[in-house]
A and B are shown apart, each in its own frame.
Chain A
Amino acid sequence: MQDLLDILNLKTHFQTQEGTIHAVNGVSLSLSDGETLGIVGESGCGKSVTMMSLLRLIPMPPGRIVAGSAHFFGRDLLQVSDTEIRTIRGSQIGMIFQDPMTFFNPVIPIGKQVAEPLEVHRNFTRAQALERAAEMLEMVGIPRARDRLSDYPHQFSGGMRQRAMIAMALICNPKLLIADEPTTALDVTIQAQIIELVLRLREELGMSIIWITHDLGVVAGLAQRIAVMYAGYIIEEALVDEFYANPQHPYAIGLLGSLPRLDANGHKRLVSIDGLPPVLTSEPNSCPFAPRCWLAMERCQRENPQLRYINDKHRVACWVDIDSGKER
């Protein structure tokens, strides 16, 4: 399959008064046409920063993309000019966010905002763009969309705003949709509706999706592949079935253990992982998870494991072979 997006060794740092924060440490990911990838991890593990780096939306300074490349349709997003990245944002890559409350500008009607990408990228006239915006809003399930074009954001409910945000991200028919925890701020029934909506739109529009979340339950039904991030590293990546059946990294096992499961027998207690994820101010020379890991060995303290294939659909960065408890 042709790769749509190919991120290689992406590193993003932030300069702060306490020193350099290593937020993303050599992330490599690829995404093929039509594929959905879930990126999972705790808050502050670098999921969002990775995606923001891709679109060059990291505030610089203090942020800095130190190394890496990100090829999208053969162009390196990290190298193209500012003008060129602007033509890609919103037209070939759409993005939706967690908080639908603050996403829209309070002084501009929803219709105009949803139509804006068309005005910016496709040279649509205002009337054409609004017409298309109405169709798009209809498509994401806003009833009587045409009558609501001139409504202001505060007249929309949270779920409707989330739908409108999706309409805005997809109005130019992007090849890639980046969804940064888009369901976190919504209540469960609306969450389910939004996920269903995205699944339907994926079929209709044929785009690839990167879905960032800390909810392992959400991605299970959505993604084909899952990557787990920790402290700016990808520590495990696998096809969905493989990942849920056979997690390899102690952190991933911990994450899965913290989920209630319908198919669990008996009354097993949910597991929690002690401690907090580290804030890296330098490249560690140990496994970043070692301090919280119950399987940590001597080697974990002196060498940071690289992401390696254990079979053709599963990569993991860990010195410990989970099945035997011994070093790989």
Chain B
Amino acid sequence: MTVIKKLLRNPTSLIGIILLVGFVIIALLAPVLAPPPENARDVYMIPRDGFNTQPQPPSPEHKLGTTEGQFDIYYGVIWGTRTAFRVGVVITLLTTLIGLTIGSLAGFYGGWLDEVLMRLTEIFQAFPFLLAAITLTSVLQTVYGRGEANFLVMTAKGLALLTFGHNPSQDLDPIQLQILTGMLAIIAFGWMGYARVIRGNILSVKEYEYALAARLVGASDMRILGRHLLPNAVFPVLVLASMDIGSYVLTFASLSFLGLGAQRGYADWGQMISFARNWIPSLADHWYIVVYPGLAIVLFVLSWNLVGDALRDILDPRMRGRGTGL
């Protein structure tokens, strides 16, 4: 309660929260703000107005103009907000979960388990993140293209359920699948930081006498870890995660820009910017294809960063009274 009050009193975090609330409203009101055409098969596919390759500047009909191939930018920016939230929140949720599990088990049990898990973490960390994600995305896309990879199909269906509320008993929508592979790749190479932070915190917290006290009471390992240690160790990870939501959206946008995330024409900011690739020499004339989706990404990432920053200041007692003037 007090955390929220403090967040609202701090000017920087207040800006972040206002931006965030704005995005939430846009996402919720997307069907009102940009009503999809009558017979749309997938509301996330941006409606096209013809097939002209020349982007068109903002006009009464297309408020923010159109890209090459006549995709409506306004529609894409509005519906892309939903994609950004889905992608950002789900990726953060899963990376944090994986990181917390691996890191806390390693820190709690120590010994060979710690050794194995942390070496594994380092192996994953050794790959350049974006490169690894790009490679994995393209590999996954071919694998899924072939079908018949049970474990992977299960993971993708689980992820689809979480991201799109997709019914697991039905086949995966190929449009969604392409987004899921991108997300899977980012998740696979995104959890290591959390694992290391939580391991360090568990290592220090488990030496406190209350950990011994919990053992003394006869609590099981999982109870000690979950009820006594994690609540004392988890805050830095939550702060990290809230700041990372924005950057995951950015990473996903990069994948989309490279043609690996969302499909051509899908309401996704990164994908929309990729339409600008062919028009870089004449961006002065066609600024609207890159500025509007770009602005959306910048503001989205900024809002999460501001909120995360303020959260850190509030939750970290050492930072109290410094930094953002709390």
Contacts and interface: CB of A to CB of B under 8 A. Distances in A.
B218 A121 contact: yes
Given A105-B228, A116-B219, A120-B223, 20 more contacts: A57-B212, A57-B215, A61-B111, A87-B218, A88-B218, A89-B217, A90-B217, A90-B218, A97-B212, A99-B209, A104-B213, A105-B213, A105-B232, A106-B232, A107-B232, A108-B227, A117-B218, A121-B218, A168-B213, A168-B217
B312 to A, nearest CB: 18
Interface residues of B, number: 18
Interface in B183-220: 208-210, 212-220
- Of A57, A94, A116, A121, the most chain B CB neighbours within 10 A belong to A116
A102 B210 contact: yes
A240 interface: no
A105 B219 CA distance: 14
Contacts of A102: 208-210
A102 B213 CA distance: 9
Given A105-B232, A107-B231, A107-B232, A117 B217 contact: yes
B218 A120 contact: yes
A90 B218 CA distance: 5
Task: Please give me the 4 A-B residue pairs with the lowest Cβ-Cβ distance, nearest first.
Answer: A90-B218, A90-B217, A89-B218, A102-B209
A62 to B, nearest CB: 11
Nearest to B235: A107
Interface string A71-97: 000000000000000111111001101
A105 B217 contact: no
Contacts of A97: 209, 212-213
Given A107-B232, A108-B228, A95 B216 contact: yes
Contact of B217 (A61, A99, A116): A116
Contacts of B231: 105, 107-108
Nearest to A178: B216
A60 to B, nearest CB: 10
A55 interface: yes
A303 B214 CA distance: 43
Interface in B116-168: none
A237 to B, nearest CB: 26
A103 B231 CA distance: 16
Nearest to A168: B217
Given A103-B210, A105-B210, A106-B232, A55 B217 contact: no
Nearest to B213: A103
A170 B214 CA distance: 14
Contacts of A95: 216
B209 A89 contact: no
Contacts of B213: 97, 103-105, 168
Contacts of A61: 111
A86 B208 contact: no
A86 B210 contact: no
Nearest to A171: B217
Given A105-B228, A120-B223, A57 B210 contact: no
Contacts of B216: 55, 57, 89-90, 94-95, 169
A228 to B, nearest CB: 26
B252 to A, nearest CB: 34
A86 B228 contact: no
Nearest to A52: B212
A120 B228 CA distance: 14
A104 B210 contact: yes
Given A105-B232, A107-B232, A120-B223, A91 B209 contact: no
- Of B208, B209, B213, B219, the most chain A CB neighbours within 10 A belong to B213
A89 B215 contact: yes
Contacts of A86: 218-220
Nearest to A104: B210
Nearest to B228: A105
Interface in B216-240: 216-220, 223, 227-228, 231-232
Nearest to B230: A107
A105 B232 CA distance: 8
5 contacts: A90-B218, A105-B214, A120-B217, A120-B218, A120-B219
Interface in B295-309: none
B6 to A, nearest CB: 18
Contacts of B208: 102
Interface string A107-138: 11000000011001100000000000000000
